[in-house]
Structure 1
Amino acid sequence: MEIKTKDFFMKQNHMRKILISLIPIILGAIYFFGWRTLVLMSVVTSFGILTEYAFKRKRNQPVSEAVIVTSILFTLTLPVSIPFWVAIVGIIFGVIFATEVFGGYGFNVFNPALVARTFLYICFPQYITVAWNAPSAGFPGGFASYITPAIETITQATPLKQTVPISQLFWGNVSGSMGETSAFLIMIAAIILLVTKAIDWQLLLSPLVGFIGMSAVSILIAPAKAPSIQYGLLSGAFLMLAVFFVTDGSTAPKTVEGKWIYGILIGTITVIIRVFGIFVGGAMFAVLIMNTFVPIMDEGIKYLKEQQRKQVSL
């Protein structure tokens, strides 16, 4: 529930729960890739807040705490070495064209962090798909460095097709976007969100069902192209998308049936794009595709239910 105050920020308890769940992932990102993670996050968040403020001040309204969550999530989907100006362009684009043009938070059709990331993926692929850094190991890890050494041999968005042990994908000591490498930390965040009732379990489970089902089918159809189910789940940022983006209440369906259809199709489309398409980042496209159909999906389900009630009453 959003409560307007005279303060600069609008108090949003739901967003604060998400911020708490992100703490382990943020600390993990610093450990794996260095303190530039926090510096980049601070810069992106500042510009995200300023962008929303430019719109809110005209209506004499407080800035939503949702923009802080948007900025942090967006930053965690980026490589640690991305230039500051590229990240700034991304967050400004996301806040304006995915939130403010729809009337602000709560009215947006698309998740702004995901729109910002997709914008950079398409317009500045050289900074998103080739500039990776090696993960640190041991103690104190990245806490003792500004940024870890660069890797110049990887030419894809995430380590989806690399020969990486499952254990590394689980713990997170693999190159990739700052907050997407550790399945373990993402699972901790998911537990926090579920315990605090910050996300809907149906929206969390349904994409996993769709992903696992379609992965099994793709292994039968195209075994040479399809990775194993466990490898696919732990790589390519799918868990991050499932926990934080599929469960976004402002862009997800409100009906129970819609939530299951929405999530299952996201998981299914993710696998189809990954295995049979040309983009490794299938999950982010899958979420945005399904965001488009959420309004008509909910209205269609409500209409069908109403028709069923009328038939029963006859």
Structure 2
Amino acid sequence: MPSGGLVPKKYLLVQPVMMRVVVGLLPCLAGSVLFFGWRPILVTLVALTAGTLAEAAFTLRQGKPVTSAVFVTSLIYSLSLPPTVPLWIVAVGIVFGVVFGKMAFGGFGYNVYNPAMVGRCFVYISFPIFLTARWVPPFGSLAEGVRGWLPPLDAVTSATPLRLVQAGQDVPLGPLFFGNISGSMGETSALLVLLGGVYIIYKKAAQWRLAVSCLFGAAATASILYILRVPGVPDPLTNLLAGSLLFGAFFVVTEPISGPKTKPAQWVYGVGIGSLTILLRRYSNFPEGVMFSVLFMNTFVPLLDRAVKFFQEKKKAQATAS
């Protein structure tokens, strides 16, 4: 067997930064089991297998290895899904995301859009019932989650914290922080997301400006709407803890390839995603706006970077001339 572990190096490129993000996602994956049983592990394995095979179908024919970045894409994608999602939808979505969100642009390092969000957006629009109306409440205790496969399907509901907020109901902050509420597999616990998010920033696997600017934009926009007493807008803290905002800020917005490279552009990009997320939550038919906000802002990343470089060069030229 060739040196380099179980998988020969010519077939798999292990990227240390990406593997740190994988480690950062593990608390969210563990939480999905504690809250929703062992089925989330099967969902994740299907996404990892289908996503890796989809990338391998392109790279191995070119004599290139599969990158470990596909593990990050597959994990983020799977953790953003409901625990009840059919496995065939899991496979279809991740294959679409890898092929059309990444490989169609030339593979790793060339994708314009976040591949995980491309895949999730595709299944979200194509199979809305499975993605928006079949949530299950968590198990009554963590011990039940460890022993169980999935909460009883007779308790399936369309009510998530964001739906309840839109309906004018109060949502306690405790469940939002700890995660024992209905929602996507790995996004319900603010505590676990923060643990993983702080880890990847500490390990320099994610750019802190992107995460902080996204949360700042969301908090500022939510505060303005809340002060103006706009109906259906909860207090800023509830907005930050509910849904996938925290998960998106740390693990989606910080994706290095589809995000800006210049520091000023990173602030604009993150603030734009955070602000747009709150506005979409309030004024669109979609209760969760992170996915659409990220894809929308991905489109303007080259323009943002070019604008920053243009003004920097202009400022430098003026300084030289004076």
- The TM-score range, normalised by the shorter chain, is over 0.9
Please list the CA deviations of residues 15-56 of structure 1 after superposition, one character each: whole Å capped at 9, or x if unmatched. Answer: 110111111111110110011111111111101111001001
1:268 equivalenced with 2:283 (yes/no): no
1:144 equivalenced with 2:147 (yes/no): yes
CA distance in 2, matches of 1:129, 1:157: 12
CA distance in 2, matches of 1:179, 1:144: 18
CA distance in 1, matches of 2:244, 2:151: 20
> 3-state SS of the aligned residue for 1:133?
coil
Shift of 1:137: 3.1
Provide the alpha-carbon RMSD of the alignment.
1.5
Residue number among 142, 154, 158 corresponding to 2:158 in the alignment: 154
Farther off after superposition, 279-288 or 257-266: 279-288
CA distance in 2, matches of 1:247, 1:112: 13
Residue number among 78, 85, 89 corresponding to 1:86 in the alignment: 89
Give the structure 2 partner of residue 134 of structure 1.
137
Shift of 1:164: 2.6
Runs of 4+ in 1 over 4 A off after TM superposition: 155-160
Runs of at least 5 residues in structure 1 that lack an aligned partner in the other structure: none
| Structure 1 segment 169-248 matched on structure 2, within 5 A | 169-248=176-255
Please list the CA deviations of residues 75-124 of structure 1 after superposition, one character each: whole Å capped at 9, or x if unmatched. Answer: 00001111111111100100000000000011101111111111111111
Percent identical among aligned pairs is 38
- Determine if contact 1:129/1:158 at 8 Å carries over to the other structure: no
Residue number among 96, 99, 104 corresponding to 2:99 in the alignment: 96
Runs of at least 5 residues in structure 2 that lack an aligned partner in the other structure: 1-7
CA distance in 1, matches of 2:252, 2:142: 32
TM-score with structure 1 setting the length: 0.95
Shift of 1:157: 8.9
1:108 equivalenced with 2:111 (yes/no): yes
- Determine if contact 2:134/2:157 at 8 Å carries over to the other structure: no
CA distance in 2, matches of 1:187, 1:160: 23
- Determine if contact 1:79/1:131 at 8 Å carries over to the other structure: yes
Q: Which amino acid aligns with 1:31?
A: L
1:57 equivalenced with 2:60 (yes/no): yes
1:67 equivalenced with 2:92 (yes/no): no
Give the structure 2 partner of residue 38 of structure 1.
41
Go from structure 1 to structure 2 and tell me whether the alpha carbon gap of 1:154 and 1:256 turns closer, same or farther (over 3 Å shift): same
- Determine if contact 2:163/2:287 at 8 Å carries over to the other structure: no
Shift of 1:222: 4.4
1:25 equivalenced with 2:28 (yes/no): yes
Shift of 1:156: 5.9
TM-score with structure 2 setting the length: 0.93
Give the structure 1 partner of residue 51 of structure 2.
48
Go from structure 1 to structure 2 and tell me whether the alpha carbon gap of 1:158 and 1:55 turns closer, same or farther (over 3 Å shift): farther
- Determine if contact 1:78/1:128 at 8 Å carries over to the other structure: yes
Give the structure 2 partner of residue 310 of structure 1.
317
Go from structure 1 to structure 2 and tell me whether the alpha carbon gap of 1:271 and 1:77 turns closer, same or farther (over 3 Å shift): same
CA distance in 2, matches of 1:222, 1:139: 38
- Determine if contact 1:266/1:290 at 8 Å carries over to the other structure: yes
- Determine if contact 1:130/1:156 at 8 Å carries over to the other structure: no
CA distance in 1, matches of 2:161, 2:107: 30
Please list the CA deviations of residues 207-262 of structure 1 after superposition, one character each: whole Å capped at 9, or x if unmatched. Answer: 11111111111113343221111111011210010010111111111111001011
The aligned length equals 310
- Determine if contact 1:209/1:267 at 8 Å carries over to the other structure: yes
Residue number among 165, 168, 173 corresponding to 2:172 in the alignment: 165
- Determine if contact 1:93/1:116 at 8 Å carries over to the other structure: yes
Shift of 1:6: 3.4
- Determine if contact 1:75/1:87 at 8 Å carries over to the other structure: yes
Residue number among 295, 299, 309 corresponding to 2:302 in the alignment: 295
CA distance in 2, matches of 1:117, 1:158: 18
- Determine if contact 1:44/1:87 at 8 Å carries over to the other structure: yes
